[in-house]
Structure 1
Amino acid sequence: MALAGGGVTGGIAPAGGGVLRVLRAGALSTVQDQGRPGWAHLGVPRSGALDPAALRLANRLVGNPETAAGLEVTVTGCALRLSRAGTVAITGADADVRVGDRPGDVGRPLAVPAGAVVSLGPPRAGLRNWLAVAGGIAVAPVLGSRSTDTLSGLGPPPLRDGDSLPLGDPTGDPAPVDFTIGPPAPTELRLRLRPGPRDDWFTPAALGLLLGTAYTVSAVGDRVGARLIGAALPRAVAGELPSEGVVLGAVQVPADGQPLIFLADHPTTGGYPVVGVVDDVTGLAQARPGTTVRFHGPQR
Protein backbone atom coordinates (compact mmCIF):
# COMPACT_ATOMS: atom_id res chain seq x y z
CA MET A 1 0.00 0.00 0.00
CA ALA A 2 1.57 3.29 -1.09
CA LEU A 3 1.68 6.38 1.07
CA ALA A 4 1.00 9.76 -0.49
CA GLY A 5 4.25 11.00 -1.97
CA GLY A 6 5.77 7.53 -2.45
CA GLY A 7 6.34 6.02 1.00
CA VAL A 8 5.52 2.32 1.38
CA THR A 9 4.06 0.30 4.21
CA GLY A 10 4.41 -3.32 5.15
CA GLY A 11 8.20 -3.38 4.89
CA ILE A 12 8.17 -3.87 1.08
CA ALA A 13 11.48 -2.66 -0.33
CA PRO A 14 11.64 -1.07 -3.78
CA ALA A 15 13.63 -3.01 -6.35
CA GLY A 16 17.35 -2.65 -5.72
CA GLY A 17 17.00 -0.50 -2.61
CA GLY A 18 16.57 -0.72 1.12
CA VAL A 19 13.82 0.33 3.47
CA LEU A 20 13.73 2.43 6.62
CA ARG A 21 11.05 1.01 8.91
CA VAL A 22 9.43 3.34 11.44
CA LEU A 23 9.06 1.52 14.75
CA ARG A 24 8.19 4.65 16.75
CA ALA A 25 7.33 7.83 14.89
CA GLY A 26 7.17 10.14 17.91
CA ALA A 27 5.11 13.30 18.20
CA LEU A 28 5.88 14.62 14.71
CA SER A 29 8.43 13.15 12.32
CA THR A 30 8.35 14.21 8.69
CA VAL A 31 10.34 13.74 5.51
CA GLN A 32 12.14 16.98 4.62
CA ASP A 33 14.72 18.25 2.16
CA GLN A 34 15.64 21.79 1.15
CA GLY A 35 12.05 22.52 0.11
CA ARG A 36 10.18 23.49 -3.04
CA PRO A 37 10.88 27.18 -3.75
CA GLY A 38 9.40 28.92 -6.74
CA TRP A 39 5.76 27.87 -6.43
CA ALA A 40 4.34 30.60 -4.17
CA HIS A 41 2.47 32.11 -7.14
CA LEU A 42 0.46 28.88 -7.21
CA GLY A 43 -0.17 28.93 -3.47
CA VAL A 44 2.57 26.42 -2.57
CA PRO A 45 5.02 27.45 0.18
CA ARG A 46 8.67 26.43 0.23
CA SER A 47 8.34 23.98 3.15
CA GLY A 48 11.57 21.99 3.77
CA ALA A 49 13.64 21.58 6.91
CA LEU A 50 13.11 24.24 9.57
CA ASP A 51 16.90 24.36 9.94
CA PRO A 52 18.18 23.76 6.39
CA ALA A 53 21.84 23.92 7.46
CA ALA A 54 21.34 21.15 10.03
CA LEU A 55 19.89 18.83 7.39
CA ARG A 56 22.66 19.73 4.92
CA LEU A 57 25.23 18.82 7.57
CA ALA A 58 23.56 15.47 8.29
CA ASN A 59 23.61 14.68 4.57
CA ARG A 60 27.28 15.59 4.23
CA LEU A 61 28.16 13.36 7.18
CA VAL A 62 26.68 10.28 5.46
CA GLY A 63 28.00 11.13 1.97
CA ASN A 64 24.71 12.32 0.46
CA PRO A 65 24.19 15.37 -1.72
CA GLU A 66 23.06 18.27 0.46
CA THR A 67 19.70 18.23 -1.33
CA ALA A 68 18.86 14.65 -0.28
CA ALA A 69 15.76 14.04 1.80
CA GLY A 70 16.04 13.04 5.45
CA LEU A 71 13.81 13.15 8.51
CA GLU A 72 12.89 16.03 10.79
CA VAL A 73 12.06 14.67 14.26
CA THR A 74 10.22 16.79 16.84
CA VAL A 75 10.23 16.71 20.67
CA THR A 76 9.94 13.02 21.51
CA GLY A 77 12.52 11.28 19.32
CA CYS A 78 11.87 8.17 17.24
CA ALA A 79 13.01 4.58 16.59
CA LEU A 80 13.87 3.26 13.12
CA ARG A 81 15.12 -0.02 11.63
CA LEU A 82 17.32 -0.22 8.53
CA SER A 83 16.78 -3.20 6.26
CA ARG A 84 20.34 -2.92 4.91
CA ALA A 85 23.67 -1.94 6.39
CA GLY A 86 24.35 1.76 6.03
CA THR A 87 25.31 5.02 7.65
CA VAL A 88 23.10 7.48 9.50
CA ALA A 89 23.83 10.88 11.00
CA ILE A 90 21.74 12.98 13.37
CA THR A 91 22.13 16.71 13.83
CA GLY A 92 20.27 19.37 15.80
CA ALA A 93 19.38 19.16 19.46
CA ASP A 94 21.47 17.23 21.96
CA ALA A 95 19.81 13.87 22.63
CA ASP A 96 20.59 10.24 23.45
CA VAL A 97 21.27 8.07 20.40
CA ARG A 98 21.63 4.30 20.22
CA VAL A 99 22.43 1.96 17.35
CA GLY A 100 21.26 -1.43 18.54
CA ASP A 101 22.93 -1.86 21.94
CA ARG A 102 25.66 0.70 21.23
CA PRO A 103 25.50 4.35 22.30
CA GLY A 104 25.90 6.87 19.51
CA ASP A 105 26.31 10.61 19.21
CA VAL A 106 24.58 13.53 17.59
CA GLY A 107 26.88 15.11 15.02
CA ARG A 108 28.87 12.15 13.66
CA PRO A 109 28.37 9.43 11.03
CA LEU A 110 27.20 6.17 12.61
CA ALA A 111 27.62 2.75 10.99
CA VAL A 112 24.40 0.74 11.22
CA PRO A 113 24.30 -3.03 10.57
CA ALA A 114 21.43 -4.46 8.55
CA GLY A 115 18.38 -4.91 10.75
CA ALA A 116 19.71 -2.74 13.57
CA VAL A 117 17.45 -0.25 15.35
CA VAL A 118 18.45 3.41 15.54
CA SER A 119 16.85 5.04 18.60
CA LEU A 120 16.75 8.79 19.14
CA GLY A 121 15.66 10.10 22.54
CA PRO A 122 13.92 13.38 23.38
CA PRO A 123 16.10 16.51 23.15
CA ARG A 124 17.72 17.63 26.39
CA ALA A 125 17.24 21.20 25.15
CA GLY A 126 15.66 22.51 21.99
CA LEU A 127 12.98 20.78 19.96
CA ARG A 128 14.19 19.08 16.80
CA ASN A 129 16.69 16.75 15.17
CA TRP A 130 17.47 15.98 11.54
CA LEU A 131 18.38 12.46 10.50
CA ALA A 132 20.04 11.49 7.23
CA VAL A 133 20.56 7.98 5.87
CA ALA A 134 23.15 7.12 3.22
CA GLY A 135 21.24 7.12 -0.07
CA GLY A 136 18.56 9.47 1.19
CA ILE A 137 14.83 8.96 1.66
CA ALA A 138 13.58 8.08 -1.82
CA VAL A 139 9.88 8.89 -1.68
CA ALA A 140 8.52 10.33 -4.92
CA PRO A 141 9.12 14.09 -5.27
CA VAL A 142 6.17 16.46 -5.58
CA LEU A 143 6.90 19.72 -7.45
CA GLY A 144 10.60 18.93 -7.22
CA SER A 145 10.75 18.21 -3.48
CA ARG A 146 10.20 15.26 -1.16
CA SER A 147 9.28 17.52 1.77
CA THR A 148 6.16 17.03 3.84
CA ASP A 149 4.08 20.21 3.86
CA THR A 150 1.92 19.93 6.96
CA LEU A 151 -0.38 22.77 5.90
CA SER A 152 -1.24 21.82 2.31
CA GLY A 153 -0.69 18.07 2.58
CA LEU A 154 1.82 17.95 -0.28
CA GLY A 155 4.50 15.28 -0.05
CA PRO A 156 4.39 12.22 2.19
CA PRO A 157 2.20 12.42 5.30
CA PRO A 158 3.76 12.69 8.76
CA LEU A 159 5.22 9.36 9.79
CA ARG A 160 3.24 6.78 11.72
CA ASP A 161 4.35 3.69 13.61
CA GLY A 162 4.77 0.84 11.13
CA ASP A 163 5.45 2.99 8.06
CA SER A 164 8.34 2.12 5.79
CA LEU A 165 10.28 4.53 3.62
CA PRO A 166 12.29 3.57 0.53
CA LEU A 167 16.00 4.38 0.52
CA GLY A 168 18.07 5.47 -2.45
CA ASP A 169 21.43 4.03 -3.41
CA PRO A 170 24.42 5.56 -1.59
CA THR A 171 26.44 7.88 -3.81
CA GLY A 172 29.36 8.87 -1.59
CA ASP A 173 31.45 7.86 1.40
CA PRO A 174 30.71 9.00 4.96
CA ALA A 175 32.58 12.14 5.97
CA PRO A 176 36.00 11.54 7.61
CA VAL A 177 35.19 13.47 10.77
CA ASP A 178 35.13 12.47 14.41
CA PHE A 179 32.49 14.87 15.64
CA THR A 180 30.66 18.07 14.73
CA ILE A 181 29.26 20.51 17.26
CA GLY A 182 25.95 22.19 16.62
CA PRO A 183 24.78 25.48 18.09
CA PRO A 184 23.19 25.29 21.56
CA ALA A 185 19.43 25.55 21.89
CA PRO A 186 18.51 29.18 22.50
CA THR A 187 17.28 30.54 25.82
CA GLU A 188 16.80 33.94 24.19
CA LEU A 189 16.48 34.82 20.51
CA ARG A 190 17.25 38.17 18.93
CA LEU A 191 15.47 38.49 15.59
CA ARG A 192 16.16 41.24 13.09
CA LEU A 193 12.87 42.76 11.87
CA ARG A 194 12.29 44.79 8.75
CA PRO A 195 9.07 46.80 9.24
CA GLY A 196 6.28 46.55 6.67
CA PRO A 197 4.46 46.10 4.46
CA ARG A 198 1.52 46.93 6.79
CA ASP A 199 3.24 48.63 9.73
CA ASP A 200 1.09 51.67 8.94
CA TRP A 201 -1.92 49.65 10.11
CA PHE A 202 -0.53 49.91 13.66
CA THR A 203 -0.10 52.84 16.00
CA PRO A 204 3.40 54.35 16.45
CA ALA A 205 3.40 52.83 19.93
CA ALA A 206 2.94 49.35 18.46
CA LEU A 207 6.30 49.27 16.72
CA GLY A 208 7.91 50.59 19.91
CA LEU A 209 6.34 47.73 21.86
CA LEU A 210 7.46 45.17 19.29
CA LEU A 211 11.06 46.39 19.27
CA GLY A 212 11.30 47.38 22.91
CA THR A 213 9.69 44.59 24.92
CA ALA A 214 10.33 40.87 25.31
CA TYR A 215 7.99 38.18 23.98
CA THR A 216 7.93 34.48 24.75
CA VAL A 217 7.26 31.53 22.46
CA SER A 218 3.79 30.09 23.00
CA ALA A 219 3.06 26.39 23.43
CA VAL A 220 0.68 26.76 20.46
CA GLY A 221 2.96 26.51 17.46
CA ASP A 222 4.07 24.16 14.70
CA ARG A 223 5.86 24.12 11.34
CA VAL A 224 3.39 26.73 10.03
CA GLY A 225 4.23 29.42 12.56
CA ALA A 226 5.55 30.36 15.98
CA ARG A 227 3.02 32.20 18.12
CA LEU A 228 4.37 34.72 20.60
CA ILE A 229 3.01 35.97 23.92
CA GLY A 230 3.63 39.50 25.11
CA ALA A 231 2.46 43.07 24.66
CA ALA A 232 -0.52 43.27 22.29
CA LEU A 233 0.12 45.52 19.29
CA PRO A 234 -2.59 48.20 19.00
CA ARG A 235 -4.04 48.83 15.55
CA ALA A 236 -4.38 52.24 13.90
CA VAL A 237 -6.67 50.83 11.20
CA ALA A 238 -9.62 48.81 12.40
CA GLY A 239 -10.88 47.63 9.00
CA GLU A 240 -10.50 44.31 7.25
CA LEU A 241 -7.47 43.68 5.06
CA PRO A 242 -7.99 41.72 1.82
CA SER A 243 -5.83 38.61 1.59
CA GLU A 244 -2.35 39.33 0.24
CA GLY A 245 0.91 37.47 -0.17
CA VAL A 246 3.00 36.51 2.86
CA VAL A 247 6.54 35.16 3.00
CA LEU A 248 8.78 33.14 5.29
CA GLY A 249 9.46 35.20 8.43
CA ALA A 250 6.41 37.44 8.03
CA VAL A 251 5.15 38.69 11.42
CA GLN A 252 1.39 38.63 11.13
CA VAL A 253 -0.78 40.12 13.85
CA PRO A 254 -4.23 38.56 14.37
CA ALA A 255 -7.12 40.30 16.09
CA ASP A 256 -5.76 39.57 19.60
CA GLY A 257 -2.67 41.68 18.84
CA GLN A 258 -0.20 38.85 19.56
CA PRO A 259 2.48 38.41 16.87
CA LEU A 260 2.78 35.21 14.84
CA ILE A 261 5.99 34.48 12.89
CA PHE A 262 5.47 32.36 9.78
CA LEU A 263 7.77 29.34 9.35
CA ALA A 264 8.46 26.84 6.55
CA ASP A 265 4.88 25.56 6.03
CA HIS A 266 3.28 29.01 6.12
CA PRO A 267 0.35 29.87 3.84
CA THR A 268 1.18 32.00 0.82
CA THR A 269 -1.60 34.51 1.50
CA GLY A 270 -3.11 35.94 4.67
CA GLY A 271 -5.78 38.39 5.73
CA TYR A 272 -4.21 39.84 8.88
CA PRO A 273 -1.75 42.73 8.58
CA VAL A 274 1.98 41.94 8.53
CA VAL A 275 3.84 44.42 10.73
CA GLY A 276 7.29 43.28 9.60
CA VAL A 277 9.43 40.44 8.28
CA VAL A 278 12.16 38.60 10.19
CA ASP A 279 15.36 38.08 8.21
CA ASP A 280 16.26 34.64 9.61
CA VAL A 281 13.84 32.33 11.43
CA THR A 282 16.24 29.38 11.80
CA GLY A 283 16.63 29.88 15.56
CA LEU A 284 12.92 29.28 16.06
CA ALA A 285 13.38 25.66 14.96
CA GLN A 286 14.81 24.91 18.44
CA ALA A 287 12.85 27.48 20.47
CA ARG A 288 10.84 25.69 23.14
CA PRO A 289 7.72 27.25 24.65
CA GLY A 290 8.79 29.97 27.07
CA THR A 291 11.89 30.94 25.08
CA THR A 292 12.40 34.74 25.14
CA VAL A 293 12.23 36.52 21.79
CA ARG A 294 13.41 40.09 21.25
CA PHE A 295 13.11 41.98 17.98
CA HIS A 296 15.49 44.65 16.76
CA GLY A 297 15.48 46.86 13.69
CA PRO A 298 17.69 46.37 10.61
CA GLN A 299 20.07 49.17 11.60
CA ARG A 300 21.53 47.21 14.56
Structure 2
Amino acid sequence: MSGVVSGLLVVRAGALTTVQDLGRPGYAHLGVPRSGALDVGAHVLANRLLGNPPDAATLETTLDGVGLRASAPVTVVVTGAPCAVRVDGRPVAWGAPVPLRAGAELEVGAAESGLRGYVAVRGGFAVAPVLGSRSTDLLSGLGPPVLSAGALLPVGLPGGDPVPGVDAVGVPGPPAELVLPLGPGPRADWFEPDSVARLLRAPYRVSARSNRIGLRTEGGPALVRRRAGELPSEGMVLGAVQVPPDGLPVVFLADHPVTGGYPVVGVVAPGPALDAAAQARPGVTVRFVRGR
Protein backbone atom coordinates (compact mmCIF):
# COMPACT_ATOMS: atom_id res chain seq x y z
CA MET A 1 0.00 0.00 0.00
CA SER A 2 1.81 3.09 -1.22
CA GLY A 3 -0.29 5.69 0.54
CA VAL A 4 -3.30 6.51 2.67
CA VAL A 5 -6.51 7.73 1.06
CA SER A 6 -8.94 7.90 3.98
CA GLY A 7 -9.59 6.78 7.50
CA LEU A 8 -12.17 5.21 9.78
CA LEU A 9 -12.87 6.81 13.15
CA VAL A 10 -13.59 4.46 16.04
CA VAL A 11 -16.95 5.51 17.48
CA ARG A 12 -17.43 2.42 19.64
CA ALA A 13 -14.45 0.19 20.33
CA GLY A 14 -16.26 -2.94 21.54
CA ALA A 15 -15.09 -5.37 24.21
CA LEU A 16 -11.82 -6.23 22.46
CA THR A 17 -11.11 -5.08 18.92
CA THR A 18 -7.63 -5.38 17.46
CA VAL A 19 -5.91 -4.90 14.11
CA GLN A 20 -4.81 -8.25 12.66
CA ASP A 21 -3.25 -9.62 9.49
CA LEU A 22 -1.50 -12.95 8.91
CA GLY A 23 0.92 -12.31 11.76
CA ARG A 24 4.69 -12.47 12.30
CA PRO A 25 5.76 -16.07 11.67
CA GLY A 26 9.49 -16.65 11.53
CA TYR A 27 10.59 -14.61 14.54
CA ALA A 28 10.22 -17.21 17.29
CA HIS A 29 14.03 -17.44 17.61
CA LEU A 30 13.93 -13.79 18.68
CA GLY A 31 11.18 -14.42 21.23
CA VAL A 32 8.46 -12.81 19.09
CA PRO A 33 5.05 -14.60 18.93
CA ARG A 34 3.37 -15.03 15.55
CA SER A 35 0.04 -13.29 16.45
CA GLY A 36 -2.33 -12.60 13.53
CA ALA A 37 -6.03 -13.29 12.94
CA LEU A 38 -7.37 -16.22 14.96
CA ASP A 39 -9.96 -17.19 12.35
CA VAL A 40 -7.65 -17.08 9.33
CA GLY A 41 -10.35 -18.26 6.94
CA ALA A 42 -12.72 -15.44 7.89
CA HIS A 43 -9.92 -12.86 7.65
CA VAL A 44 -8.81 -14.07 4.20
CA LEU A 45 -12.41 -14.24 2.96
CA ALA A 46 -13.09 -10.64 4.03
CA ASN A 47 -10.07 -9.47 2.06
CA ARG A 48 -10.95 -11.58 -0.97
CA LEU A 49 -14.44 -10.08 -1.12
CA LEU A 50 -12.85 -6.64 -1.46
CA GLY A 51 -10.04 -7.53 -3.86
CA ASN A 52 -7.41 -7.05 -1.12
CA PRO A 53 -4.37 -9.31 -0.78
CA PRO A 54 -4.80 -11.98 1.91
CA ASP A 55 -2.35 -10.26 4.26
CA ALA A 56 -4.15 -6.88 4.27
CA ALA A 57 -4.93 -5.81 7.83
CA THR A 58 -8.49 -6.22 9.13
CA LEU A 59 -10.18 -5.59 12.46
CA GLU A 60 -10.87 -8.58 14.70
CA THR A 61 -13.83 -7.93 17.01
CA THR A 62 -14.78 -9.95 20.08
CA LEU A 63 -18.39 -10.74 20.89
CA ASP A 64 -20.00 -7.27 20.72
CA GLY A 65 -18.69 -5.77 17.46
CA VAL A 66 -17.49 -2.25 16.78
CA GLY A 67 -18.72 1.14 15.51
CA LEU A 68 -16.81 3.12 12.84
CA ARG A 69 -17.32 6.42 10.94
CA ALA A 70 -15.87 6.94 7.45
CA SER A 71 -13.93 10.14 6.74
CA ALA A 72 -14.14 9.52 2.98
CA PRO A 73 -15.94 7.03 0.72
CA VAL A 74 -14.77 3.46 1.37
CA THR A 75 -16.03 -0.09 0.87
CA VAL A 76 -16.15 -2.52 3.79
CA VAL A 77 -17.20 -6.10 4.50
CA VAL A 78 -17.91 -8.05 7.70
CA THR A 79 -17.25 -11.79 8.05
CA GLY A 80 -16.57 -14.24 10.89
CA ALA A 81 -19.22 -14.51 13.59
CA PRO A 82 -22.66 -13.77 12.09
CA CYS A 83 -24.09 -10.47 13.31
CA ALA A 84 -26.34 -7.57 12.36
CA VAL A 85 -24.61 -4.89 10.29
CA ARG A 86 -26.05 -1.38 9.90
CA VAL A 87 -25.04 1.82 8.12
CA ASP A 88 -26.54 4.97 9.63
CA GLY A 89 -29.07 2.76 11.39
CA ARG A 90 -30.21 0.90 8.25
CA PRO A 91 -29.58 -2.87 7.88
CA VAL A 92 -27.01 -3.86 5.25
CA ALA A 93 -25.55 -7.19 4.19
CA TRP A 94 -23.22 -9.28 6.31
CA GLY A 95 -20.62 -11.15 4.22
CA ALA A 96 -20.86 -8.81 1.23
CA PRO A 97 -19.15 -5.56 0.16
CA VAL A 98 -20.91 -2.47 1.54
CA PRO A 99 -20.07 1.07 0.31
CA LEU A 100 -19.84 3.86 2.89
CA ARG A 101 -20.14 7.53 1.97
CA ALA A 102 -18.06 10.14 3.80
CA GLY A 103 -19.53 10.61 7.27
CA ALA A 104 -21.47 7.34 7.25
CA GLU A 105 -21.42 5.24 10.43
CA LEU A 106 -20.93 1.49 10.28
CA GLU A 107 -22.30 -0.45 13.25
CA VAL A 108 -21.16 -4.06 13.57
CA GLY A 109 -23.48 -5.67 16.11
CA ALA A 110 -23.07 -8.38 18.70
CA ALA A 111 -22.20 -11.87 17.49
CA GLU A 112 -25.35 -13.96 17.13
CA SER A 113 -23.22 -17.11 17.28
CA GLY A 114 -19.50 -17.58 17.47
CA LEU A 115 -17.16 -15.08 19.04
CA ARG A 116 -14.98 -13.11 16.62
CA GLY A 117 -15.90 -10.93 13.64
CA TYR A 118 -13.65 -9.50 10.92
CA VAL A 119 -14.10 -6.04 9.42
CA ALA A 120 -12.14 -5.42 6.23
CA VAL A 121 -11.88 -2.22 4.21
CA ARG A 122 -10.82 -1.97 0.58
CA GLY A 123 -7.16 -0.98 0.69
CA GLY A 124 -6.65 -2.48 4.16
CA PHE A 125 -6.01 -0.72 7.45
CA ALA A 126 -2.69 1.09 6.96
CA VAL A 127 -1.43 1.24 10.54
CA ALA A 128 2.35 1.16 10.90
CA PRO A 129 3.84 -2.34 10.55
CA VAL A 130 6.15 -3.81 13.17
CA LEU A 131 8.50 -6.59 12.01
CA GLY A 132 6.57 -6.77 8.76
CA SER A 133 3.11 -7.15 10.32
CA ARG A 134 0.29 -4.83 11.39
CA SER A 135 -1.06 -7.33 13.94
CA THR A 136 -1.73 -6.44 17.55
CA ASP A 137 0.01 -8.96 19.80
CA LEU A 138 -1.61 -9.04 23.23
CA LEU A 139 1.17 -11.15 24.75
CA SER A 140 4.23 -9.13 23.72
CA GLY A 141 2.59 -5.73 23.19
CA LEU A 142 3.90 -5.41 19.64
CA GLY A 143 1.79 -3.72 16.97
CA PRO A 144 -0.96 -1.13 17.28
CA PRO A 145 -2.82 -0.76 20.58
CA VAL A 146 -6.19 -2.33 21.24
CA LEU A 147 -8.83 -0.07 19.68
CA SER A 148 -10.29 2.72 21.78
CA ALA A 149 -13.02 5.25 21.01
CA GLY A 150 -11.70 8.28 19.14
CA ALA A 151 -8.84 6.47 17.40
CA LEU A 152 -8.47 7.16 13.66
CA LEU A 153 -7.53 4.16 11.56
CA PRO A 154 -5.85 5.03 8.25
CA VAL A 155 -6.96 3.18 5.13
CA GLY A 156 -4.52 2.25 2.39
CA LEU A 157 -4.74 2.73 -1.35
CA PRO A 158 -6.71 -0.06 -3.06
CA GLY A 159 -4.70 -2.54 -5.09
CA GLY A 160 -5.24 -3.39 -8.72
CA ASP A 161 -7.84 -6.12 -8.21
CA PRO A 162 -11.44 -4.97 -8.55
CA VAL A 163 -14.07 -5.73 -5.93
CA PRO A 164 -15.43 -9.17 -6.92
CA GLY A 165 -18.92 -9.20 -8.36
CA VAL A 166 -20.75 -10.94 -5.50
CA ASP A 167 -23.96 -10.14 -3.70
CA ALA A 168 -23.27 -12.26 -0.59
CA VAL A 169 -21.28 -15.26 0.47
CA GLY A 170 -22.39 -18.39 2.29
CA VAL A 171 -20.06 -19.74 4.97
CA PRO A 172 -20.60 -22.41 7.63
CA GLY A 173 -21.68 -21.06 11.00
CA PRO A 174 -19.67 -21.52 14.19
CA PRO A 175 -19.82 -25.16 15.31
CA ALA A 176 -22.14 -26.36 18.06
CA GLU A 177 -19.36 -28.83 18.95
CA LEU A 178 -15.66 -28.17 18.43
CA VAL A 179 -13.79 -31.17 17.00
CA LEU A 180 -9.99 -30.87 17.08
CA PRO A 181 -7.87 -33.46 15.22
CA LEU A 182 -4.90 -34.17 17.49
CA GLY A 183 -1.64 -35.13 15.85
CA PRO A 184 1.23 -36.77 17.78
CA GLY A 185 2.93 -34.56 20.34
CA PRO A 186 6.58 -34.64 21.35
CA ARG A 187 5.78 -35.34 25.02
CA ALA A 188 2.87 -37.77 24.81
CA ASP A 189 5.08 -40.30 26.62
CA TRP A 190 4.92 -38.12 29.73
CA PHE A 191 1.33 -39.30 30.28
CA GLU A 192 -0.25 -42.62 31.18
CA PRO A 193 -1.42 -44.36 27.97
CA ASP A 194 -4.95 -44.90 29.28
CA SER A 195 -5.10 -41.21 30.19
CA VAL A 196 -4.23 -40.23 26.60
CA ALA A 197 -6.85 -42.70 25.38
CA ARG A 198 -9.49 -41.00 27.55
CA LEU A 199 -8.46 -37.64 26.08
CA LEU A 200 -9.52 -38.98 22.68
CA ARG A 201 -12.87 -40.28 23.97
CA ALA A 202 -14.20 -37.90 26.60
CA PRO A 203 -15.77 -34.48 25.97
CA TYR A 204 -14.38 -31.25 27.41
CA ARG A 205 -15.82 -27.73 27.42
CA VAL A 206 -14.33 -24.40 26.35
CA SER A 207 -13.36 -22.51 29.50
CA ALA A 208 -14.24 -18.85 30.06
CA ARG A 209 -10.52 -18.32 30.77
CA SER A 210 -9.73 -18.81 27.07
CA ASN A 211 -8.24 -15.90 25.11
CA ARG A 212 -6.08 -15.15 22.07
CA ILE A 213 -3.16 -16.93 23.73
CA GLY A 214 -4.90 -20.25 24.19
CA LEU A 215 -8.17 -22.13 24.29
CA ARG A 216 -8.45 -23.58 27.79
CA THR A 217 -10.61 -26.59 28.51
CA GLU A 218 -12.61 -27.75 31.51
CA GLY A 219 -15.08 -30.47 32.46
CA GLY A 220 -13.14 -33.40 31.04
CA PRO A 221 -10.75 -35.94 32.56
CA ALA A 222 -7.42 -34.57 33.74
CA LEU A 223 -4.44 -36.21 32.07
CA VAL A 224 -2.32 -38.24 34.48
CA ARG A 225 1.45 -38.07 34.18
CA ARG A 226 3.69 -41.10 34.21
CA ARG A 227 6.81 -38.95 34.64
CA ALA A 228 7.54 -36.55 37.48
CA GLY A 229 9.37 -33.23 37.31
CA GLU A 230 9.22 -30.42 34.77
CA LEU A 231 10.70 -29.86 31.35
CA PRO A 232 13.18 -27.12 30.55
CA SER A 233 11.48 -24.52 28.37
CA GLU A 234 11.25 -25.64 24.76
CA GLY A 235 9.83 -24.22 21.55
CA MET A 236 6.06 -24.08 21.07
CA VAL A 237 4.12 -24.04 17.80
CA LEU A 238 0.66 -22.83 16.83
CA GLY A 239 -1.88 -25.51 17.76
CA ALA A 240 0.32 -27.17 20.40
CA VAL A 241 -1.81 -28.81 23.12
CA GLN A 242 0.03 -28.17 26.35
CA VAL A 243 -0.95 -29.80 29.64
CA PRO A 244 -0.40 -27.69 32.79
CA PRO A 245 -0.30 -29.20 36.31
CA ASP A 246 -4.13 -29.35 36.56
CA GLY A 247 -4.09 -31.90 33.71
CA LEU A 248 -6.58 -30.01 31.52
CA PRO A 249 -5.41 -29.40 27.91
CA VAL A 250 -4.71 -25.89 26.58
CA VAL A 251 -4.66 -25.36 22.79
CA PHE A 252 -2.18 -22.63 21.85
CA LEU A 253 -3.61 -19.95 19.54
CA ALA A 254 -2.02 -17.07 17.64
CA ASP A 255 -0.66 -15.05 20.59
CA HIS A 256 0.91 -18.09 22.26
CA PRO A 257 4.37 -17.80 23.85
CA VAL A 258 7.25 -19.09 21.77
CA THR A 259 8.52 -21.36 24.57
CA GLY A 260 6.93 -23.32 27.40
CA GLY A 261 7.83 -25.82 30.09
CA TYR A 262 4.68 -27.93 30.30
CA PRO A 263 4.57 -31.11 28.19
CA VAL A 264 2.82 -31.04 24.81
CA VAL A 265 0.60 -34.10 24.38
CA GLY A 266 -0.35 -33.34 20.76
CA VAL A 267 -0.72 -30.70 18.08
CA VAL A 268 -3.78 -29.40 16.19
CA ALA A 269 -2.63 -28.45 12.70
CA PRO A 270 -3.44 -24.91 11.47
CA GLY A 271 -6.53 -24.87 9.28
CA PRO A 272 -10.29 -25.11 9.62
CA ALA A 273 -10.18 -26.74 13.07
CA LEU A 274 -8.13 -23.92 14.62
CA ASP A 275 -10.33 -21.38 12.80
CA ALA A 276 -13.34 -23.01 14.46
CA ALA A 277 -11.56 -22.81 17.83
CA ALA A 278 -11.44 -19.03 17.37
CA GLN A 279 -15.25 -19.00 17.23
CA ALA A 280 -15.95 -21.40 20.12
CA ARG A 281 -17.69 -19.69 23.01
CA PRO A 282 -17.24 -20.71 26.66
CA GLY A 283 -19.29 -23.83 27.38
CA VAL A 284 -19.06 -25.26 23.85
CA THR A 285 -18.21 -28.98 23.84
CA VAL A 286 -14.67 -29.83 22.72
CA ARG A 287 -13.69 -33.27 21.43
CA PHE A 288 -10.17 -34.31 20.58
CA VAL A 289 -9.97 -36.95 17.84
CA ARG A 290 -7.00 -38.77 16.42
CA GLY A 291 -5.37 -36.73 13.66
CA ARG A 292 -2.19 -36.94 11.66
The TM-score normalised by the length of structure 1 is 0.92
| Residue 257 of structure 2: aligned partner | 267
- Within 5 A, what are the aligned runs for 1:30-45? 30-45=18-33
- Within 5 A, what are the aligned runs for 1:104-115? 104-115=92-103
List runs of 5+ in structure 2 lacking aligned partners. Answer: none
CA distance 1:16–1:222, change in 2 (3 Å) = closer
Distance 1:63 1:279 in 2: 28
Q: Secondary structure, in 3 states, of the residue corresponding to 1:53?
A: helix
| Residue 241 of structure 1: aligned partner | 231
Shift of 1:68: 0.7
Deviation string for 1:213-263 (max 9, x for gaps)? 001100111110000011111111120211101100101111111110000
Shift of 1:101: 3.0
State which of 180, 189, 209 in structure 2 corresponds to 1:200.
189
Shift of 1:17: 2.4
Of 224-233 and 167-176, the range deviating more from structure 2: 167-176
| Residue 277 of structure 2: aligned partner | 284
Deviation string for 1:174-195 (max 9, x for gaps)? 2210110121111112111112
| Residue 4 of structure 1: aligned partner | none
Counterpart code for 1:213: A
Asked if 1:181 corresponds to 2:173, the answer is no
Distance 2:198 2:226 in 1: 14
List runs of 5+ in structure 1 lacking aligned partners. Answer: 1-14
| Residue 55 of structure 1: aligned partner | 43
Contact 2:37/2:254 (8 A) holds in 1: yes
What is the number of equivalent residue pairs in this alignment?
A: 286
Distance 2:154 2:221 in 1: 47
State which of 235, 238, 252 in structure 1 corresponds to 2:242.
252
Contact 1:87/1:174 (8 A) holds in 2: no
User: Structure 1 runs of 4+ off > 4 angstroms?
Assistant: none
Q: Secondary structure, in 3 states, of the residue corresponding to 1:120?
A: strand
Shift of 1:165: 1.1
Distance 2:226 2:152 in 1: 52
| Residue 217 of structure 1: aligned partner | 206
State which of 136, 139, 145 in structure 2 corresponds to 1:151.
139
Counterpart code for 1:178: D
Distance 2:145 2:137 in 1: 8
Q: Report sequence identity in percent.
A: 59
| Residue 3 of structure 1: aligned partner | none
State which of 166, 170, 188 in structure 1 corresponds to 2:158.
170
Q: Secondary structure, in 3 states, of the residue corresponding to 1:261?
A: strand
